[in-house]
């Protein structure tokens, strides 16, 4: 069975254009243009003090982790919930480009894990 002919607009090699034609910056409706992330002019070092100065909600997430009483049953549930909160604030998928590196995320998640470990040692009775 022969291959169907490609649409002429997307055929390869490109259709010859007149020498004075301007290139069109038009994307087909089914293709999204690439997302260009420009680096932020302000750099935030990857340490907890600088990150909390730039994003105070990190302190609220840490306080939330300190407040919860952990048991063996809900430790991973609390960890996943706090991790989802952190993804919005730091790391690759955050809203602020100056905090969108994996180093920032690693610092934040390590801090939250340390708090959760301390709370788990306090909250789980010996069996």
22 occurs within a structural domain: no
16 occurs within a structural domain: no
**pTM listed for this prediction:** 0.62
Band the pLDDT of 123: cuts 50, 70, 90.
Answer: low
29 occurs within a structural domain: no
15-58 residue pLDDT tens: 566 677 666 565 555 666 566 666 555 788 899 999 999 999 99
51-90 residue pLDDT tens: 999 999 999 999 988 887 777 778 888 889 999 999 999 9
Helix (H, G, I), strand (E, B) or coil at 19: coil
91 occurs within a structural domain: yes
Domain with 64 in it: 44-127
125 occurs within a structural domain: yes
115 occurs within a structural domain: yes
Q: Which residue has the tokens 């932020």?
A: 40
Q: How far apart are CA 22 and CA 6, in angstroms?
A: 23
Q: Which backbone phi and psi does 81 adopt, to 5 degrees? A: -65, -45
If one counts the domains in the chain, the total is 1
Q: How far apart are CA 123 and CA 82, in angstroms?
A: 18
108 occurs within a structural domain: yes
């Amino acid at each position: 069975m022969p291959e169907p002919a490609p649409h002429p607009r997307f055929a390869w090699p490109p259709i010859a254009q007149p020498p004075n034609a301007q290139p069109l910056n038009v994307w087909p409706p089914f293709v999204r243009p690439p997302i260009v992330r420009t680096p932020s002019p302000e750099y935030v070092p990857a340490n907890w003090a600088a990150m909390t100065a730039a994003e105070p909600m990190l302190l609220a997430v840490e306080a939330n982790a300190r407040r919860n009483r952990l048991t063996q049953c809900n430790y991973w549930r609390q960890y996943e919930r706090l991790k989802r909160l952190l993804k919005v604030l730091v790391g690759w998928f955050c809203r602020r480009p100056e905090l969108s590196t994996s180093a920032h995320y690693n610092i934040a998640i390590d801090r939250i894990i340390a708090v959760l470990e301390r709370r788990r040692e306090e909250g789980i009775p010996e069996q």
